[in-house]
Amino acid sequence: PSVGIVRETNDGERRVALVPKVVTTLIGKRLDVIVEPGAGQGALISDELYKEAGAAIGDAWSADVVLKVAAPSPEETARLRSGQKLIGFLAPRTNETGIAALAAAGVEAYAVEAIPRISRAQVMDALSSQANVAGYKAVIVAASESTRYFPMLTTAAGTVKPATVLVLGVGVAGLQALATAKRLGGRVTGYDVRPEVADQVRSVGAQWLDLGIDAAGEGGYARQLTEDERAQQQQALEDAIKGFDVVITTALVPGRPAPRLVTAAAVEGMKPGSVIVDLAGETGGNCELTEPGRTVVRHGVTICSPLNLPATMPEHASELYSKNVGALIELMFDENGVLAPDFDDEILSAACVTRQAVVV
């Protein structure tokens, strides 16, 4: 059986689904790997490096299993054939037409977002590996946009106070943002609606902001807040946010528009020169004044809403994603090396979104 690595075509997407190291691993498991010419270019991986790892350069779309990062475009879906397997970030909750098209084409598609977050699947957890990159890079963006230092400095020319950094939404991205801001010397605080996160926040040396709202939902995710809770939260945050130089927001509720945490009034209350980095732009943003994909200045505050931050660090983002995808592929083969996904396996049954021409 063969695995194909195709070139990503989305604007700004520089990641590639498999790096040479994992190609070698799969070849060791008696799989053939076919790479579309230039597939690794964005991540600075030449065709030559793939060849050295044992891959063939050729028609990757003809492989038994096609690997992608982003969901395929309609043109790309048209290149897939019935029975072929596809793995990628297929956005099963929001990309209804794309998923329906994959089903209609008879493709057996696996969405990495749908992999259950159980310990056995941790190595395949692409949401986490990429959220980690985003959380780190969000802090770098904030530091770059800031008119102030992050660390405390005592110099002959005077003393600089450390930046105060607030992270709203402490999942995987938020926790990495806290840790990164801390390493840069900021004074960091974390906030979430899942009280269980408090200990994780403290474990990276951050303070926990308690607003008294518990909205822990299913499977470790947050539930949507009620109207009353939302108003209470916005008011409390409006008061809290005033004191921070940098606010990084990462709050998401699965399948819902991003919760509005930072109102226009809260932005107005911040000191000019402060920075907000909103990682929830793809689902509308956590800040009322966010313009997804753009950097704007409102009331003297710089509000950045970078989309797809993992694509801006293609080397490591690809390396980690590759590890996730490689582990998922291995799970799809039986002990004789036959490509035969076992749908009694909860990981495969959850990840598979189209099968035998239906959306499952």
Residues taking part in catalysis: 117, 122, 125, 128, 221
Q: Can residue 198 be called a binding residue for ligand NAD (CB under 6 A)?
A: no
Q: Can residue 275 be called a binding residue for ligand NAD (CB under 6 A)?
A: no
The tokens describing 267, both together, are 């932005």
Q: Can residue 128 be called a binding residue for ligand NAD (CB under 6 A)?
A: yes
Q: Strand pairing of 246-249 and 187-191?
A: unpaired
At its nearest, how many Å lie between ligand NAD and the CB of residue 274? Answer: 19
Q: Is 33 exposed, middle or buried (0-12, 13-18, 19+ CB in 10 A)?
A: buried
What region, left, alpha or beta, does residue 342 occupy, with left being phi > 0 and alpha being psi -120 to 50 degrees? beta
At its nearest, how many Å lie between ligand NAD and the CB of residue 70? Answer: 18
At its nearest, how many Å lie between ligand NAD and the CB of residue 224? Answer: 8
Out of 87, 178, 261, 352, the only residue in the binding site for ligand NAD (CB under 6 A) is 261
Residue 75 to residues 28, 78, 98, 143: CA-CA distances in angstroms? 33, 5, 11, 39
At its nearest, how many Å lie between ligand NAD and the CB of residue 189? Answer: 13
Q: Can residue 238 be called a binding residue for ligand NAD (CB under 6 A)?
A: no
- Kindly write out the interface string for residues 58-97 of this chain, putting x where it contacts ligand NAD by CB under 6 A and - elsewhere: ----------------------------------------
At its nearest, how many Å lie between ligand NAD and the CB of residue 273? Answer: 25
Q: Can residue 193 be called a binding residue for ligand NAD (CB under 6 A)?
A: yes
Type of residue found at 74: P
CA–CA distance, 39 with 42 (Å, rounded to integer): 8
- 91 neighbors 113 (Cβ within 8 angstroms): yes
Out of 45, 165, 198, 225, the only residue in the binding site for ligand NAD (CB under 6 A) is 225
- Nearest to ligand NAD by Cβ — which residue? 171
358: β partners: 355
What single-letter DSSP state applies at residue 216? Answer: B
Count of residues making up the chain: 360
Q: Can residue 220 be called a binding residue for ligand NAD (CB under 6 A)?
A: yes
State which residue, 251 or 276, has the beta carbon closest to ligand NAD: 251
CA–CA distance, 307 with 70 (Å, rounded to integer): 13
Q: Strand pairing of 352-355 and 358-359?
A: antiparallel
Out of 5, 168, 309, 313, the only residue in the binding site for ligand NAD (CB under 6 A) is 168
- Interface positions with ligand NAD (CB under 6 A): 117, 119, 122, 125, 127-128, 131, 168-174, 192-194, 220-222, 225, 250-254, 259, 261
